[in-house]
């Protein structure tokens, strides 16, 4: 079954579709809770802020914006970040400066999203390659982990031309799978492949 994008879920939520709301909730509740709690370090404040957020989503999700991949994750966490800062301004319960708080939250945002994106991306890649021939799968995991064409050809007992072809084929298979089922992860995958981001898929393979 094709996974619905955030954009499509939010459109359904605006029409008061409870199933879409439940899917969106399940998709992001762990991320939201971890992000807010690490910033506030207060259970009651965390629960109140998150409850307010979900009520707002149900009442009018139009305040959330999606990127080109129809994912709302970045904008959603930015919105929550501003709400956390509002809580600090209102309560003044923590002596940490707002500048320091913003810096800490930026680090939390990076760490949390990286961790979750890595796990989901790994799962989706394995899903895409699961039924592919052995050489296609192994070529992908070896090359993505920076094995040279020569090393890959030697360990798989194939020609260098085969390595080039099978790696290109594996990339096409994964990208097609992402486009059809997980468009919000295409940017992360391309970044991982080009070395712009370090994902755990570079150490977890086979």
Q: State how far the Cα of 59 lies from the Cα of 52, in Å rounded to an integer.
A: 11
Q: How confident is the model at residue 89 (pLDDT cuts 50, 70, 90)?
A: low
Choice between 14 and 88, residue whose per-residue pLDDT is larger: 14
Question: 49, exposed or middle or buried, with CB in 10 Å at 0-12, 13-18, 19+?
Answer: buried
pLDDT confidence of residue 10: 94
CATH of the domain at 89: 1.10.1740.10
Taking phi first (over 0 means left), then psi (-120 to 50 degrees means alpha), and beta for anything else, what does residue 74 get? alpha
User: Taking residues 77-105, what's their average pLDDT?
Assistant: 64
* Domain with 62 in it: 1-95
pLDDT confidence of residue 61: 92
CB 56 within 8 A of CB 39: no
Q: State how far the Cα of 106 lies from the Cα of 204, in Å rounded to an integer.
A: 27
Helices (H) and strands (E) in the chain, counts: 9, 0
DSSP secondary structure letters along 31-83: HHHHHHHHHH--HHHHHHHHHHHHHHHHH-GGG----TTS--HHHHHHHHHHH
Is the pLDDT at 172 greater than 60? The verdict is: yes
User: Could you tell me which of 86, 96, 73, 75 has the C-alpha nearest to residue 27?
Assistant: 73
Q: Looking at the structure, do residues 140 and 193 belong to the same domain, yes or no?
A: yes
The string of pLDDT tens digits covering residues 109-119 is 444 445 545 66
User: Taking residues 173-179, what's their average pLDDT?
Assistant: 89
Q: Hey, what are 139's tokens?
A: 């070529």
Q: Give the other-Cβ count within 10 Å of 122's Cβ.
A: 16
Q: Looking at the structure, do residues 88 and 123 belong to the same domain, yes or no?
A: no
Residue 101 forms part of a structural domain: no
Q: Hey, what are 172's tokens?
A: 């096409």
Q: How many residues does the chain have?
A: 206
Domain count, the chain: 2
The string of pLDDT tens digits covering residues 140-170 is 888 877 788 888 888 888 999 999 999 999 9
The string of pLDDT tens digits covering residues 43-86 is 888 999 999 999 999 999 998 888 888 888 888 888 888 888 77
Q: Looking at the structure, do residues 84 and 143 belong to the same domain, yes or no?
A: no
Q: Calculate Rg over the CA atoms of the chain.
A: 21
Choice between 47 and 200, residue whose per-residue pLDDT is larger: 47
The string of pLDDT tens digits covering residues 10-47 is 999 999 999 999 999 999 999 899 888 888 888 888 99
Residue 105 forms part of a structural domain: no
């Amino acid at each position: 079954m094709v996974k619905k994008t955030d954009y499509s879920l939010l459109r359904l939520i605006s029409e008061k579709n409870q199933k879409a709301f439940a899917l969106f909730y399940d998709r992001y509740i762990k991320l939201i809770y971890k992000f807010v709690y690490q910033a506030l370090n207060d259970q009651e404040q965390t629960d109140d802020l998150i409850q307010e957020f979900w009520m707002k989503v149900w009442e009018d999700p139009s305040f959330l914006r999606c990127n080109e991949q129809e994912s709302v994750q970045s904008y959603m966490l930015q919105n929550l970040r501003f709400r956390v800062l509002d809580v600090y301004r209102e309560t003044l319960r923590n002596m940490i400066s707002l500048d320091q708080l913003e810096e800490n939250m930026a680090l939390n945002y990076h760490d949390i999203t990286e961790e979750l994106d890595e796990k989901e991306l790994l799962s989706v890649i394995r899903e895409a390659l699961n039924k592919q021939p052995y050489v296609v799968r192994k070529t992908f995991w070896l090359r993505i982990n920076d094995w040279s064409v020569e090393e890959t050809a030697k360990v798989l007992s194939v020609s260098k031309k085969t390595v080039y072809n099978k790696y290109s084929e594996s990339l096409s298979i994964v990208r097609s799978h992402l486009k059809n089922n997980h468009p919000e992860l295409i940017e992360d995958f391309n970044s991982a492949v080009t070395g712009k981001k370090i994902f755990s898929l570079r150490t977890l393979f086979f």
